[in-house]
Chain A
Amino acid sequence: MSPQGQTTLSEVFGLLNTCAPGHKAKKGRRSHTWTIYYRGKTFSDLPKGGHDSKEQVQLLKVAKMVRSLEIRADCAVKEIPALSGMNLGDVPADRKKQQ
Chain B
Amino acid sequence: MNEYPLLFTTRELVAGNGFVAWVEGCGWALLVHEPNAEWWMYGVQPGGIGEGGATLSEANLRLVGSVKNVLAEIADEAQSFADFEREVRGFFLQVDDTDRRRWDAARAALSAGAAVDDPSVRALKRVPVPKDCSVRIIRIDAPATQAKPDMNSGGESRIALAAAA
Q: Could you say which of A43, A45, A68 contacts B69, with CB atoms under 8 Å apart?
A: A45
B interface, CB within 8 angstroms of A: 34, 36, 38, 40, 42-43, 47-52, 66, 69-70, 72-73, 76, 90-91, 94, 96-99, 102
A29 lies within 8 A of B48 (CB): no
Contact A31 B69 (CB under 8 A): yes
In the complex, which residues 36-91 of chain A have their Cβ closer than 8 Å to any Cβ of chain B?
Answer: 41-45, 58, 60-61, 64-65, 67-68, 70, 87, 89-90
- Residue from the list A33, A58, A89 in contact with B98, Cβ < 8 A: A89
17 A-B pairs within 8 Å (CB atoms) are namely: A28-B72, A28-B73, A30-B69, A30-B73, A33-B69, A41-B94, A43-B48, A44-B48, A60-B38, A60-B40, A61-B52, A67-B42, A67-B98, A68-B47, A68-B96, A70-B97, A92-B97
State whether A31 and B47 are in contact (beta carbons under 8 Å apart), knowing that A44-B91, A64-B42, A89-B98 are contacts in the complex. no
Tell me, in angstroms, the Cα distance from A44 to B70 when the chains sit together. Answer: 7
A45-B69, A90-B98 given; 11 more Cβ-contact pairs under 8 Å: A5-B36, A30-B69, A30-B76, A35-B70, A41-B47, A42-B48, A42-B90, A43-B49, A60-B36, A60-B50, A87-B102
6 nearest CB pairs, A to B: A89-B98, A64-B50, A28-B73, A31-B69, A45-B66, A30-B72
Q: Decide yes or no: A67 and B99 within 8 Å by CB, A33-B69, A42-B94, A45-B66 being known contacts.
A: yes
Residues in B whose Cβ lies below 8 Å from that of A44: 48-49, 66, 69-70, 73, 91
Chain B residue with minimal CB distance to A63? Answer: B50
CA distance A29 to B42 in the complex (A): 24
Contacts of A42 in B (CB 8 A): 48, 90-91, 94
Nearest chain A CB to B75's CB is how many angstroms away?
8
